[in-house]
């Protein structure tokens, strides 16, 4: 069950062992491992619910490279991570952005844009590439929230509807394939002849009932109150009208570390440089996931899980000198049962 978000506190700072910036997969797993090591946590995220980009951008998409899951939907993965950490009662500070980080004696003091303060012995940055802003089609902007969106939170919302998807990457192709058996019609519009998506997915796309328009662009949107149709201009200059209850613009995202870039951590190409313990250039501040960098890193969710476990176990030793780095076997020492 997704926890009720904690959106504000007042008075003295919230006191925890570990403050986690980012409630995506790596951040949630880091909170679990912190609980397993007996550390209290607060999880800060700008989104109103846990899950990060997985929950916001592809909750219905099946993931095939998560260990022990032949296939798992993004939403199911996040729900399971929330269940896994629930016995340790992390404090969720959702719908707010971590903005400041200041040394406070041997501890760190974080501040958010909601005026919340968190006092923490250590900090784990699991914020991915920071704030994510979708690239937009100018003609679609007036219909945002009225038929135009940038991801597909729930496939069923599009049952028996006409859907147009603009883009040629994995998200665009995956959504087209997922919606094909549900929607009344699906049209995929891509400005190039070739796709950036996986070859296997593209082959499936051309075998599906999706209408594929390449070397074409959405140039106009029409509708009274809500979106009703779009105009697509092809390479030869022709304009086609397509019915569209929904236009999903999957044109990529611009990323920005935002306030994190001013915290004093060493950066490399807008990513946070870490060492083998996942520690940044600041003491007791660690970074994991796609927002960190080191030689040979592979950008996978499964890699982020390992990084989170590494960072938290090293943080546990830093906070409690003399503690063992190796956490032991969970089957022998798990302190509380995982809820059903």
In a domain, 175, yes or no: yes
Q: What is the pLDDT of residue 340?
A: 56
Does 10 show up as a binding residue in the annotation? no
- Examine the domain organization and report whether 195 and 164 are in the same domain: yes
pLDDT in tens, 73-122: 888 999 999 999 999 999 999 989 999 999 999 999 999 999 999 999 99
In a domain, 188, yes or no: yes
Q: What is the pLDDT of residue 329?
A: 78
Structural domain count, the chain: 2
Tell me which of 200, 222, 251 is where a domain ends. 251
In a domain, 8, yes or no: no
In a domain, 197, yes or no: yes
Does 170 show up as a binding residue in the annotation? no
Mean pLDDT for 30-55 is: 92
- Kindly report the pTM of this predicted structure: 0.78
3-state percent helix, strand, coil for the chain, nearest multiple of 5: 25, 30, 40
Tell me which of 230, 251, 272 is where a domain ends. 251
Does 98 show up as a binding residue in the annotation? yes
- Examine the domain organization and report whether 219 and 291 are in the same domain: no
Burial 12-35 (b: 16+ CB within 10 A, else e): ebbebbbbbbbbbbbbbbbbbbbb
- Cα–Cα distances in Å, from 103 out to 146, 277, 326? 45, 21, 28
d(CA 233, CA 241) in angstroms, rounded, equals 9
- Examine the domain organization and report whether 30 and 103 are in the same domain: yes
- Examine the domain organization and report whether 69 and 167 are in the same domain: no
> Which CATH number is 318's domain given?
3.50.50.60
pLDDT in tens, 203-236: 999 999 999 999 999 999 999 999 999 999 999 9
pLDDT in tens, 166-189: 999 988 998 999 999 999 999 999
- Examine the domain organization and report whether 141 and 247 are in the same domain: yes
Task: Give the structural domain span for 307.
Answer: 14-132+254-333
Does 58 show up as a binding residue in the annotation? yes
In a domain, 199, yes or no: yes
Q: What is the pLDDT of residue 49?
A: 87
In a domain, 123, yes or no: yes
Give the model's confidence band at 339: pLDDT under 50 very low, under 70 low, under 90 confident, else very high: low
């Amino acid at each position: 069950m997704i926890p009720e978000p904690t959106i504000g506190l007042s008075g003295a700072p919230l006191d925890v062992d570990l403050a986690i910036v980012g409630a995506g997969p790596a951040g949630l797993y880091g909170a679990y491992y912190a609980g397993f090591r007996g550390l209290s946590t607060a999880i800060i995220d700008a989104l109103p619910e846990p899950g990060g980009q997985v929950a916001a951008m592809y909750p219905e998409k099946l993931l095939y490279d998560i260990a022990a899951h032949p296939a798992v939907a993004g939403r199911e993965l996040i729900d399971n991570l929330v269940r896994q950490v629930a016995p340790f009662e992390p404090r969720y500070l959702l719908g707010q952005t971590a903005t400041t980080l200041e040394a406070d004696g041997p501890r760190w003091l974080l501040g958010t844009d909601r005026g919340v303060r968190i006092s923490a012995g250590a900090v784990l940055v699991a914020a991915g590439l920071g704030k994510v802003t979708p690239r937009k089609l100018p003609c679609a902007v007036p219909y945002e929230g009225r038929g135009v969106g940038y991801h597909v939170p729930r496939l069923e919302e599009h049952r028996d509807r006409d859907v147009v998807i603009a883009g040629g990457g994995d998200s665009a192709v995956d959504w087209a394939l997922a919606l094909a058996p549900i929607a009344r019609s699906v049209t995929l519009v891509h400005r190039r002849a070739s796709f950036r998506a996986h070859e296997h997915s593209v082959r499936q796309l051309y075998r599906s009932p999706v209408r594929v328009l390449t070397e074409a662009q959405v140039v106009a949107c029409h509708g009274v109150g809500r979106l009703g149709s779009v105009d697509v201009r092809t390479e030869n200059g022709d304009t086609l009208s397509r019915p569209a209850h929904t236009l999903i613009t999957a044109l990529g995202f611009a990323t920005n570390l935002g306030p994190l870039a001013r915290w004093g951590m060493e950066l490399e190409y807008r990513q946070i440089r870490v060492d083998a313990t996942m520690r940044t250039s600041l003491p007791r501040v660690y970074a994991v996931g796609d927002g960190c960098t080191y030689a040979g890193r592979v950008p996978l969710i499964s890699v982020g899980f390992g990084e989170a476990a590494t960072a938290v176990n090293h943080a546990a030793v830093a906070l409690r000198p003399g503690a063992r780095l190796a956490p032991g076997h969970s089957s022998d020492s798990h302190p509380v049962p995982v809820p059903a």
